[in-house]
A and B are shown apart, each in its own frame.
Chain A
Amino acid sequence: MRYRVRVWRQTGPTAKGQLVDYEIDGVTAEMSFLEMLDVLNERLQLEGDDPVAFDHDCREGICGACGVMIDGVAHGPGKATTTCQLHMRQFDPADPIVVEPWRAAPFPVLRDLVVDRTALDRVIEAGGYISTRAGAAPDAHALPVPKPDADTAFEAAACIGCGACVAACPNGSSMLFTAAKATHLGVLPQGQPERYTRARDMVETQDDLGFGGCTLTGECTAVCPKGIPLSTISRLNHDVLSAVLRSG
């Protein structure tokens, strides 16, 4: 099959970018979306052109490295999926596919479809952990955790940090990302001592980094590859408010 794609090309962070049209032959239904880009890149290199730069690593939907806007949707068509888990059978060869990088102020484009997402690491560094030291832990069974709490924690902890929530949000907010971590740690008994300061510190940091405010549009959860629910944001807001009240 032959597909037409329009891909964002930009040689560096300060260069001007543009959409460039390509036609790709020999695409099969079993091929993944990224394998289709591989085919394009092999051809571009043989023709002496620079291949399209894009982030990817595990190609099984868990590392969070990949992620592009496909026809304006973060991670493209299909519910709860990463870009690497898309297959060409999901695309109609009749329609051109528009491929662009994540767009958000704290995610500068480095090249083509590659953006800098280190701002998300800064948010975790601000408090997204339980302070403990290797070797200092009590026996794992010393602290039973009710199964529903463990399950809620797991669902939130499934976040892969891809940044689709930020890219999809009209405000460029990272609230779903931050709320996922605050929920994961905040529902567990081990996470209680730092629960409110953790929430407050992460939210302050994301604001400082230039992420937008949350207006609960829900665009984030619609594209989240792991289905992190919007309710985590309510939880985070509650914890932040509590932190403010507690600090008087």
Chain B
Amino acid sequence: MLYRDGDPIADTRAPEGPLETRWERRRFSARLVNPANRRKLTIAVVGTGLAGGSAAATLGELGYNVLSFCYQDSPRRAHSIAAQGGINAAKNYAGDGDSVHRLFHDTIKGGDFRSRESNVHRLAEVSTSIIDQCVAQGVPFAREYGGLLDTRSFGGAQVSRTFYARGQTGQQLLLGAYQALARQVHAGSVRSFPRTEMLDLVVSDGRARGVVVRDLVTGEVTTHLADAVVLATGGYGNVFHLSTNAKGCNTTAIWRAHKRGALFANPCYTQIHPTCIPVSGDHQSKLTLMSESLRNDGRVWVPVEAGDSRPPDQVPESERDYYLERIYPSFGNLVPRDIASRAAKAVCDAGRGVGPGGLGVYLDFADAIARLGRDTVAARYGNLFEMYQRITDEDPYQVPMRIYPAVHYTMGGLWVDYDLRSTIPGLFVIGEANFSDHGANRLGASALMQGLADGYFVLPAVIGDYLADGPFGPVDPNAVDEAEDGVRELVSTLLTIKGDRTPESFHRELGRLMWDLCGMERSEDGLRKALERIPSLREEFWRRLKVTGTGGELNQALEKAGRVADFLELAELMCVDALHRSESCGGHFRVESQTAEGDARRDDDRFSYVAAWEFTGVGEPPMLHREQLHFEAVRPTVRSYK
């Protein structure tokens, strides 16, 4: 049995009535906690990226007692920092017809009609305040000569609504949030715990009441109690081993919360980013993204003939296939990521790929350089070109870049309602760690928007409504002991197997398996094969793992082993979800469900729902709870970018 059916999810706490005023009405109906009482309430925020950093800072500003945790040596290093391209906002500063409704519409459509209208509309509304907030903090966005903010276009949109700071938008936004956080640390409202990893959630009387953490320097395992817990620990793309995520990104916090009862929604929705530097060798440790913004001016092509091994400058114009412009004339090179990725895979599978192994397509700037001049191109993309040259030893001003899709983002995550509450009372989930806003495919420049929307504006407005139910009484000491003992036992088990394979070797094997069988294209046969192999790889892990050193010291191999153990469980759920969803939608492409032209074919009659999975035991069939999606403002159509 693949899975069991559970009760559908009836209540998402979304307000009724007109879509445009739901958020305003929700904010008004949310109960408040008076400032004197906020000081007495402790909120643990795990993760310090755009979502966690901005949430911890804002909750501190409001006067709550905040505990902020991150595994990095400083909150400033969370992986949001690596986001390159930009952040969307419906400011319509370009005067090109943008509006809150258009951003809402583009995001729902971009997500292939698999996200909630209420949440997405709120996101579009809040987007404009984010830009105001960041400018007030001193985020140095790109500006025009008149001193006003500049914007550019991203995939899936026909307006220019993406604000940016060269190719380092994520860095600048994160530093803004980090500085706001630092201000609260200085003020004493936030206590910061860097090099500290959450390893379990304390659930007492059915409520999330704290976190069990391991100090990554001393190895000490301790518990921090709280009145509410916020997980902002990012996505789980590293289940594929090779991805654009940072090396430390992991699923541990959300997976262990899942094992404590939080439902996990749409785990199979992963985003494969079309423009990454291709893999170069067996020892490669990570993949590097080349920002989507490059598709504003770069043209994607491959040779018309399969097996054409001429260098790019010797392929005449008439023998080049600018396939995105050819197939999708109205969006051209700016089609959404899922479509661009699959198109690249299709031409490579047809033997027309370029570079070593034929796993690459060209992203060519020759026309842009001729049209705009080298200096303008350098001003827009200089740092990206430099990064490319450093890694590949090729000069993109002279030869076209070679790019190939790579795992980048996970739309799935812990299930949350409109108020960002998970199914465990008191456990809130924000940013990439939740599932809520991007449906089956996220549009470019929308991750930064969602992280900051959740952290600066949504969570602070709704968390008081939960806390107003308190005080929740003392925490059951047995619940703390049980969670702490579990963590200590896990650490000691990982250290005592003393087998003959490193954590890294298991991670690499799992990643290859997931990329081949649950990656850009999924089939029933492949997924069934994966579901046979994952449990046996997991069994081998617990039999042959070798971790040197002890638990009472800085031990990076031990950290890695714990994360790989969780990936080995999550991977199975991803494959179950991918197998059960026999339609194609967004980033989830089932070969059995495609049009004659090879596009994704949705099945709204059977699958217009969120799949929220309940944990029932390792290797046991999970329980499926369906949340039906209702569309009132947008009618689901066949997504066309042609």
Q: Which of B79, B172, B502 contacts A58 (CB 8 A)?
A: B79
* Chain A residues with CB under 8 A of B553: 11-12, 111
Q: Which residues of chain B (158-197) have a CB below 8 Å from chain A?
A: 165-166, 168, 171-172, 175, 178-180, 182-183, 185-186, 192, 194
Asked if B132 and A60 make an inter-chain contact with CB atoms under 8 angstroms apart, the answer reads no
Nearest chain B residue, comparing its CB with the CB of A111 = B554
Cα–Cα, bound, A35→B137 (Å): 37
Q: In the complex, what's the smallest C-beta–C-beta distance from A33 to chain B, in angstroms? A: 11
Are A38 and B504 CB-contacts (below 8 A) given A45-B548, A63-B82, A140-B149? yes
Q: In the complex, what's the smallest C-beta–C-beta distance from A28 to chain B, in angstroms? A: 6
Interface bits A99-123 vs B (CB < 8 Å: 1, else 0): 0000000000011001011101100
Cα–Cα, bound, A46→B544 (Å): 12
Q: Which residues of chain B (544-564) have a CB below 8 Å from chain A?
A: 546-549, 553-557
Q: Which of B54, B145, B456, B556 contacts A53 (CB 8 A)?
A: B556
Q: Which of A142-150, A165-173, A228-236 contacts B (4 or more CB under 8 A)?
A: A142-150
* Chain A residues with CB under 8 A of B134: 140
Asked if A150 and B179 make an inter-chain contact with CB atoms under 8 angstroms apart, the answer reads no
Cα–Cα, bound, A62→B339 (Å): 28
Are A34 and B285 CB-contacts (below 8 A) given A63-B79, A121-B182, A145-B143? yes
Q: Would you call B539 an interface residue if the criterion is a C-beta within 8 Å of the partner chain's C-beta atoms?
A: no
Cα–Cα, bound, A87→B288 (Å): 14
* Chain B residues with CB under 8 A of A110: 217, 554
* Chain A residues with CB under 8 A of B166: 154
Cα–Cα, bound, A138→B135 (Å): 9
Q: Which of A68-76, A183-191, A209-217, A239-247 contacts B (4 or more CB under 8 A)?
A: A183-191
Question: Most A CB atoms within 10 A — which of B79, B132, B146, B556?
Answer: B556
Q: Which of A31, A41, A129 contacts B281 (CB 8 A)?
A: A31
Q: In the complex, what's the smallest C-beta–C-beta distance from A43 to chain B, in angstroms? A: 10
Cα–Cα, bound, A87→B284 (Å): 12
Q: Which of B69-77, B441-449, B516-524, B568-576 contacts A (4 or more CB under 8 A)?
A: B69-77
Asked if A141 and B148 make an inter-chain contact with CB atoms under 8 angstroms apart, the answer reads yes
Asked if A28 and B135 make an inter-chain contact with CB atoms under 8 angstroms apart, the answer reads no
Q: Which of B58, B142, B147, B390 contacts A144 (CB 8 A)?
A: B147
* Chain A residues with CB under 8 A of B129: 135, 137
Q: Would you call B313 an interface residue if the criterion is a C-beta within 8 Å of the partner chain's C-beta atoms?
A: no
Question: Most A CB atoms within 10 A — which of B134, B171, B505, B546?
Answer: B171
Interface bits B497-512 vs A (CB < 8 Å: 1, else 0): 0001010110000000
Question: Most A CB atoms within 10 A — which of B58, B145, B247, B393?
Answer: B247
Q: Which residues of chain A (153-204) have a CB below 8 Å from chain B?
A: 153-154, 157-158, 160-161, 184-185, 188, 190-191
Cα–Cα, bound, A247→B575 (Å): 65
Q: Would you call B140 an interface residue if the criterion is a C-beta within 8 Å of the partner chain's C-beta atoms?
A: yes
Q: In the complex, what's the smallest C-beta–C-beta distance from B401 to chain A, in angstroms? A: 15
* Chain A residues with CB under 8 A of B75: 121
Nearest chain A residue, comparing its CB with the CB of B508 = A42
* Chain B residues with CB under 8 A of A137: 129, 132-133, 135-136
* Chain B residues with CB under 8 A of A11: 553
Q: Which of B138, B142, B460, B557 contacts A188 (CB 8 A)?
A: B138
Interface bits B49-92 vs A (CB < 8 Å: 1, else 0): 00000100110010000000000111111010110000000010
Asked if A190 and B140 make an inter-chain contact with CB atoms under 8 angstroms apart, the answer reads no
Asked if A153 and B138 make an inter-chain contact with CB atoms under 8 angstroms apart, the answer reads yes
Nearest chain A residue, comparing its CB with the CB of B57 = A134
Cα–Cα, bound, A63→B76 (Å): 8
* Chain B residues with CB under 8 A of A50: 548-549, 555
Asked if A147 and B138 make an inter-chain contact with CB atoms under 8 angstroms apart, the answer reads no
Asked if A42 and B549 make an inter-chain contact with CB atoms under 8 angstroms apart, the answer reads no
Cα–Cα, bound, A154→B382 (Å): 14
Cα–Cα, bound, A32→B285 (Å): 9
Interface bits A36-54 vs B (CB < 8 Å: 1, else 0): 0011011011101111010
Cα–Cα, bound, A125→B194 (Å): 14
Q: Which residues of chain B (475-533) have a CB below 8 Å from chain A?
A: 500, 502, 504-505
* Chain B residues with CB under 8 A of A184: 138, 140
* Chain B residues with CB under 8 A of A64: 74, 76-77, 81
Q: Which residues of chain B (78-124) have a CB below 8 Å from chain A?
A: 79, 81-82, 91, 93
Q: Would you call A95 an interface residue if the criterion is a C-beta within 8 Å of the partner chain's C-beta atoms?
A: no
Q: Would you call B22 an interface residue if the criterion is a C-beta within 8 Å of the partner chain's C-beta atoms?
A: no
Nearest chain A residue, comparing its CB with the CB of B149 = A140
Q: In the complex, what's the smallest C-beta–C-beta distance from B551 to chain A, in angstroms? A: 13
Q: Which of A61, A126, A157 contacts B186 (CB 8 A)?
A: A126
Q: Would you call B11 an interface residue if the criterion is a C-beta within 8 Å of the partner chain's C-beta atoms?
A: no
Are A117 and B133 CB-contacts (below 8 A) given A62-B171, A150-B143, A188-B138? no
Q: Would you call A89 an interface residue if the criterion is a C-beta within 8 Å of the partner chain's C-beta atoms?
A: yes
Asked if A63 and B81 make an inter-chain contact with CB atoms under 8 angstroms apart, the answer reads yes
Q: In the complex, what's the smallest C-beta–C-beta distance from B6 to chain A, in angstroms? A: 38
Cα–Cα, bound, A87→B555 (Å): 26
* Chain A residues with CB under 8 A of B213: none
Nearest chain A residue, comparing its CB with the CB of B61 = A133
Cα–Cα, bound, A41→B165 (Å): 37
Q: Would you call B286 an interface residue if the criterion is a C-beta within 8 Å of the partner chain's C-beta atoms?
A: yes
Q: Would you call A131 an interface residue if the criterion is a C-beta within 8 Å of the partner chain's C-beta atoms?
A: yes
Asked if B285 and A30 make an inter-chain contact with CB atoms under 8 angstroms apart, the answer reads no
Q: Would you call B328 an interface residue if the criterion is a C-beta within 8 Å of the partner chain's C-beta atoms?
A: no
* Chain A residues with CB under 8 A of B248: 57
Asked if B74 and A121 make an inter-chain contact with CB atoms under 8 angstroms apart, the answer reads yes
Asked if B149 and A141 make an inter-chain contact with CB atoms under 8 angstroms apart, the answer reads yes
Q: Which residues of chain B (214-267) have a CB below 8 Å from chain A?
A: 217, 246-248
- By Cβ-Cβ distance, the 3 closest A-B pairs, closest first, are A144-B147, A129-B179, A137-B136
- What is the interface of chain B, defined by CB distance below 8 A to chain A? 54, 57-58, 61, 72-77, 79, 81-82, 91, 93, 129, 131-138, 140-149, 165-166, 168, 171-172, 175, 178-180, 182-183, 185-186, 192, 194, 217, 246-248, 280-281, 283-286, 288-289, 387, 390-391, 393, 456-457, 460, 500, 502, 504-505, 546-549, 553-557
- What is the interface of chain A, defined by CB distance below 8 A to chain B? 11-12, 28, 30-32, 34-35, 38-39, 41-42, 44-46, 48-51, 53, 55-65, 81, 85, 87, 89, 110-111, 114, 116-118, 120-121, 124-141, 143-147, 150, 153-154, 157-158, 160-161, 184-185, 188, 190-191
